[in-house]
Structure 1
Amino acid sequence: LKGKIREVRAQALPEATVTASGTRWRDPSLLNASGIDKFPEELRKALIPVGINRFDYGISVKQPLYTAGKIGTALRLASVEAEGSMIDVDRAEQDLALEVVKAYYGLLWAERYRDLVAATQEQRKRHAEMARARFNNGVATEVDVLRSEVAVANGAPDLVRAENAIRQARALLNYYLARPVDFPTRTSQEFELKPWDQQDLEALAQEAERSRPELSRLRIAERSAEHQLQLARAESRLRIDATAGFGISTRLTENLFNSDFTRWNVGVNLTLPVFDGFRRSGLVAQAVANQRAVRLEREKVQQQVRLGLQQALDEVRAAQETINAARANISQAERVLTMTQENYRYGAATTLDIVDAQTALSVARTNLLKGLHDYAVARANLLWTLGRRPWE
């Protein structure tokens, strides 16, 4: 767009042209005159033209003096579009930042989920060893041993899937970071439950309308549409140009630098279109329609932003409730597993009871991890919807 601005600005500057030509020509215009037959024969023969050379070079300058505001409007339009292009860059950066944050949280979830699955699998192995030892001591049945070993075998694919999830999440994050997909990117933190206290939808909507790049771009588009309308109205109006020329014109090459053969001109040209086939009215109608369309698009996006804010707030609240419920369930599931393991040692519980308790604790921890991930992503989406940086 900088080039476009330079192009439009050039219309307001003088246009200088250097020309040079060499011509050999013969002009029988006198012989075609209507009264040539009344001339004496000797004179008519003397008027028969012969071929001559004509050499000419010079410089001409043209400077617009008045264009009904067309050039000024075009300059303002180009400047507005340049401002809009910067907003487009901001929007692309914000969208990319959101995708990077979501990919990071995806990798963080995958790594923590793998740790959770590995811990659960280790717990199953310890129970299988305990069941084998109790069986060898004659205080457990072979069914207890088999159930424990089956639980260990069933957990192995979960660990493989968790490792695959890490590789996929890491590859996605590396893609957004412009790194090789197998680059060993690792996370360096845990999920943080940053509270969100702003619940006033109207205040949030006003902030989003000020900060969202899409709305800023559409406001610029409205200004652009207004300038386009002014530009359309400036079509087919009075135009005044100043012109000047200077050069040498001669039929002999030895006179090409002789000042006696200098030619020059200075003038002012006025152009006033009388009828343009309704071209100007057509351009104005298009500009008015475009102006209306841009305004309606801005109003539509404003409503979409409000709807997005409401959805983002609901997602944050839902994730918060999931976290609270999961934490309560984890405390209960840990207590149940401890009690079940103690009962098993004294023969008051079966291996099936242990597996059920382990599964319940694993589900509760998984729900908490998912809740933390969903909360982090929902909060990033909410920040993005407000036009803020999604990692705040």
Structure 2
Amino acid sequence: MTQHMEFNTGDTALPDITGLDTASLRREVVGASPSVQAAEAQARAAGAQVGVTRAQYMPTVTATYSRSWAGNRDSVSLSPVAFTTWPALRNTWSLRFGLSWPLFNGFSRETAMSRSLASRNAAEARAAEAQRQANANFTQQLAALEAATQQLAIADASRAAAEEDLRVQQERYRLGAATIVDVLTSQVSLGQAEVSLVQARLNLLLAKAQIEALAGREL
């Protein structure tokens, strides 16, 4: 008996992660995380609000500019002909500056500043937490990918060993040194090894897909 179970495990190309730059990929994954981007945007907005609130402590400068022309004409000269010639107009202008600097407003500025600082600190803390969660998620998925790679190597070696064992048992059976039970047992072991190899390949592809989903691109 020379037949055994056959599994096609070469239809899908396996990912090569030997040269994977995990540090660069980690930065890419964390930066592309929607939760991190949203939290960082909120932190930037809260920081900008602190600047707006702090501006209330600064003086307010105002400037006004005006310009006018004026001239006189005698009432006796108000004939239609007289309107063809106009007297010279005097040009006057003025420029005024104002400075307003409230020194005390019932601590409303201090209250607003305290609230702005608290909001900024909370937003920054949420952004840091989002980054930690994204890092932890990437670490978990990367560990799964590395484990799947190791499992595939073990499964491949086990399949090769099972094939060799079946070959030896078949030869021993031909020489009368083994029974049919020995051959059947070896065939079952090879079938189990091939199933394990298929599962290991699938686990590796799934682990790779998880990281690709985090990065938003193919590895």
Superposed, 1:195-206 pairs within 5 Å as 195-206=16-27
Superposed, 1:149-160 pairs within 5 Å as none
After superposition, the Cα gap between the structure-2 partners of 1:369 and 1:234, relative to the gap in structure 1 and judged at 3 Å, is same
Query: Is 1:218 aligned to residue 14 of structure 2?
Result: no
Report the equivalent of 1:388: 216
Query: Is 1:190 aligned to residue 11 of structure 2?
Result: yes
The CA distance in 2 between the partners of 1:360 and 1:339, in whole Å, is: 13
Structure 1 contact 344–351 (Cα < 8 Å) conserved: yes
Query: Is 1:324 aligned to residue 132 of structure 2?
Result: no
Which amino acid letter does the alignment assign opposite residue 359 of structure 1?
V
C-alpha displacement of 1:324: 2.1
The CA distance in 2 between the partners of 1:367 and 1:282, in whole Å, is: 65
Report the equivalent of 1:288: 117
Query: Is 1:306 aligned to residue 139 of structure 2?
Result: no
Identity of aligned residues (%): 26
C-alpha displacement of 1:191: 3.1
Structure 1 unpaired stretches of 5+: 1-118, 123-188, 236-275
C-alpha displacement of 1:359: 2.6
TM-score, length-normalised on structure 2? 0.58
Structure 2 contact 141–210 (Cα < 8 Å) conserved: yes
C-alpha displacement of 1:229: 4.9
Deviations 1:266-296 (A, max 9, x none): xxxxxxxxxx998876565444323212211
Which amino acid letter does the alignment assign opposite residue 217 of structure 1?
A
The CA distance in 2 between the partners of 1:379 and 1:300, in whole Å, is: 25
The CA distance in 1 between the partners of 2:182 and 2:137, in whole Å, is: 46
Structure 2 contact 163–190 (Cα < 8 Å) conserved: yes
Superposed, 1:54-73 pairs within 5 Å as none
After superposition, the Cα gap between the structure-2 partners of 1:215 and 1:221, relative to the gap in structure 1 and judged at 3 Å, is same
Structure 1 contact 316–375 (Cα < 8 Å) conserved: yes
Report the equivalent of 1:358: 187
SS at the partner of 2:216?
coil
Structure 1 contact 201–309 (Cα < 8 Å) conserved: no
After superposition, the Cα gap between the structure-2 partners of 1:345 and 1:208, relative to the gap in structure 1 and judged at 3 Å, is same
Report the equivalent of 1:56: none
C-alpha displacement of 1:224: 2.8
Structure 2 unpaired stretches of 5+: 57-104
The CA distance in 1 between the partners of 2:55 and 2:30, in whole Å, is: 33
Report the equivalent of 1:348: 177
Superposed, 1:208-247 pairs within 5 Å as 208-227=29-48, 229=50
Higher relative contact order (CA 8 A, sep 6+): 2
Structure 1 contact 191–373 (Cα < 8 Å) conserved: no
The CA distance in 2 between the partners of 1:366 and 1:277, in whole Å, is: 77
TM-score, length-normalised on structure 1? 0.35
C-alpha displacement of 1:218: 1.5
After superposition, the Cα gap between the structure-2 partners of 1:359 and 1:285, relative to the gap in structure 1 and judged at 3 Å, is farther
After superposition, the Cα gap between the structure-2 partners of 1:198 and 1:206, relative to the gap in structure 1 and judged at 3 Å, is farther
C-alpha displacement of 1:300: 2.5
The CA distance in 2 between the partners of 1:193 and 1:292, in whole Å, is: 45
After superposition, the Cα gap between the structure-2 partners of 1:358 and 1:277, relative to the gap in structure 1 and judged at 3 Å, is farther
Which amino acid letter does the alignment assign opposite residue 376 of structure 1?
L
C-alpha displacement of 1:193: 0.9
Deviations 1:237-272 (A, max 9, x none): xxxxxxxxxxxxxxxxxxxxxxxxxxxxxxxxxxxx
The CA distance in 1 between the partners of 2:49 and 2:19, in whole Å, is: 41
SS at the partner of 2:169?
helix
Report the equivalent of 1:337: 166
After superposition, the Cα gap between the structure-2 partners of 1:283 and 1:357, relative to the gap in structure 1 and judged at 3 Å, is farther
C-alpha displacement of 1:192: 2.0
SS at the partner of 2:17?
coil
The CA distance in 1 between the partners of 2:110 and 2:28, in whole Å, is: 40
